Structure 1
Amino acid sequence: MDYFLQLLISGVAVGLVYGFIGMGFAMIFRATGVVNFAQGELMMLVAYIGFTLVGTFKLGFWPLLLASIGVSVLIGLMVEVLLIRPMLGQPVFSTVMVTIGLAVIIRSVVVLIWGADPMPLATGLSTTPIRIGPAGLYPAQIYALGIMACVVGGLWAFFRFSRTGIAMRATANLQTTALLMGINVKRIFALSWALSAGLAAIAGVLVGVIYDLNPGMWLTGLRSFPAVILGGLDSVFGAALGGVLIGVAENLSEGYIGRGMKEIAGFVLILVVLMVRPYGLFGKAEIERV
């Protein structure tokens, strides 16, 4: 029983990182209908920029997190304005290819600037595990739970009560109608990229603090993609829960079945779920009238 609880708790901790990245995927898809395949690479880039900020300004964990979010939001806005906005009116496939090209460029830039050797993201945060029952969690993993609760609560209030949040929901439902109602859709697109980049920054800092930095960090983005499929591509909060479920599934499969299962457990899980609910656990089914 202790072994199961250890796998479960550590799986939830890993799943929180997947959840942040998955929410970023869903944020952009919900507003624009585009899957940003550079989300994991953006997370990696911001984490390495955070490494430079720590070395230059000796930032602690919380100042680094806030600074990384600010930098990431600016990068997200630049990507939307320079690369994505010119693709408006073009086939979705073309825009997706732009994000794939951006992902490849970011991977090369990271290696070119920072090198290929692993590096610690030293923020002064304790690396001594804290015992929670049979499991030991790093302080950063515990902070991730609190940050996730704050982010989910803040986004729920934003979408529910703010005029901008309601405009984003309207744009997600039907862009043409939103335009006719006077909503600035281009501004909504830019905001969705900015929010998605901010979520990537949180994930990047957490991954860097817990696991160190390396050029293979972008794979965390790929492994978190099942989270957004599981929760529903158009459900931001479903992606958060999907990330936790994927993290738990990976840990349990590796713990009870064997090594190598961790890499495929998430994809096996979404195959099973999609056979029952093709639009994910919390996604909305598209109804076409002919």
Structure 2
Amino acid sequence: MTGLIDSLFNGLALGSVYALIALGFVTIFKASGVLSFAHGSLLLLGGYLIAVLHDELGFAGALALAVLVTAAVAGLVDRVVLQRIGADPHAAHVATIATIGIDIVLVTDLARRIGGDLLTLGDPWGDAVTDLGPATVADSRIAAITVSALAIGGAFALFRFTPWGLSLRAAAEDAEAAALMGVRLTRVRMLAWCLAGALAALAAVFLAAFPAPGLERTTGQIALKAFPAAILGGMASPVGALVGSMVIGLTEAFTAGYQSDLHVLGEGFGDVAPYAVMVLVLLVRPAGLFAAKGAARV
């Protein structure tokens, strides 16, 4: 029973953090049709800024500044680089490839700065734990679930109740018609990148928190684990990103927690389990679980 509860909380915490990243994937895709492979570098940038600033500004100040700077960098990446490529469907494919180059440039510079160090982010949870019945849960896991729920709720409120959210939904439905109705598509997509960057910086906090040893130069690669979550739910569905993230997080946690019972599948099966689930779902629902009727395959 203890192992079950531990795996459940770990899965929910991982799923919550993956949801922050996957929601960024989906928001960018809805706004521009671009699959952003630069997300890992944006996440690493946010984490690095918190690590180097928390001694001077405190954790809250460093987090706020890191979120703002990462959001601004993400917006500049779109405005200065990607929007110059163009906005037609063929340009979206080129822009997707361009994000790979952007990711390489940012990761290379950040990896040089971090080197072989493990950086602490100064989070207030440290290695504290809380007893929940028969299980012991890290406070960082509880914080990940709570903070992610608030951030995701805020993002959904932006989608639903703001003029930008309405413009985003209109652009995702028919970009040409939205432009004819006065929607400024360049602003919509730039703000989508800003939101995605902010969420990635927030996710970095919990990916580097206990029981993880800290922020290292490979931390950004974890963002790729949220990619199956976004595809699983449907690349244009924020709700799908949330559900897909929970599925991926729980799958990863339970396969890791019960690895000894799954030894016939290989010692490292937990690392590939999220992708195996993604493939199985896409065999049945090629456009994702929550894709709109008539949506193209991802």
Distance 1:7 1:286, change over 3 A: same
TM-score (ref. length: structure 2): 0.90
Distance 2:153 2:76 in 1: 27
TM-score (ref. length: structure 1): 0.93
Hey, what does 2:182 align to over in structure 1? 182
Secondary structure at 1:254's aligned position in 2? helix
Q: How far 1:242 sits from its partner (Å)?
A: 1.4
For residues 27-46 of structure 1, the aligned pairs below 5 Å read: 27-46=27-46
For residues 127-276 of structure 1, the aligned pairs below 5 Å read: 127-210=127-210, 211=212, 212-256=214-258, 257-258=262-263, 259-276=267-284
The AA in structure 2 aligned to 1:218 is G
The AA in structure 1 aligned to 2:67 is I
Distance 1:46 1:93 in 2: 26
Q: How far 1:78 sits from its partner (Å)?
A: 1.3
Q: Conserved in 2, the CA contact under 8 Å of 1:7 and 1:252?
A: yes
Distance 1:287 1:254 in 2: 34
Distance 1:125 1:230 in 2: 32
Compare 29-38 and 247-256 and name the one that shifted more: 247-256
The AA in structure 1 aligned to 2:226 is S
Hey, what does 1:59 align to over in structure 2? 58
The AA in structure 2 aligned to 1:283 is A
Q: How far 1:97 sits from its partner (Å)?
A: 1.4
Q: Conserved in 2, the CA contact under 8 Å of 1:25 and 1:228?
A: yes
Distance 1:281 1:58 in 2: 43
Distance 2:137 2:241 in 1: 23
Q: Conserved in 1, the CA contact under 8 Å of 2:255 and 2:269?
A: yes
Distance 1:34 1:17 in 2: 22
The AA in structure 2 aligned to 1:68 is A
Hey, what does 2:292 align to over in structure 1? 284
The AA in structure 1 aligned to 2:105 is I
Secondary structure at 1:263's aligned position in 2? helix
Aligned length in residues: 286
Q: Conserved in 2, the CA contact under 8 Å of 1:6 and 1:134?
A: no
Q: Conserved in 2, the CA contact under 8 Å of 1:152 and 1:237?
A: no
Output one character per residue of 1:180-206: Cα deviation in whole Å (capped at 9) or x when no partner: 001111000111000110110110122
Distance 2:126 2:243 in 1: 27
Q: How far 1:63 sits from its partner (Å)?
A: 3.0
Question: What root-mean-square deviation, in Å, do the aligned CA atoms of Structure 1 and Structure 2 show?
Answer: 1.7
Q: Conserved in 2, the CA contact under 8 Å of 1:11 and 1:248?
A: yes
Secondary structure at 1:137's aligned position in 2? strand
Distance 2:278 2:123 in 1: 36
Distance 1:133 1:169 in 2: 44
Q: How far 1:152 sits from its partner (Å)?
A: 2.6
In the alignment, structure 1 residue 79 sits paired with structure 2 residue 54? no
- Unaligned 5+ segments in structure 1 are none
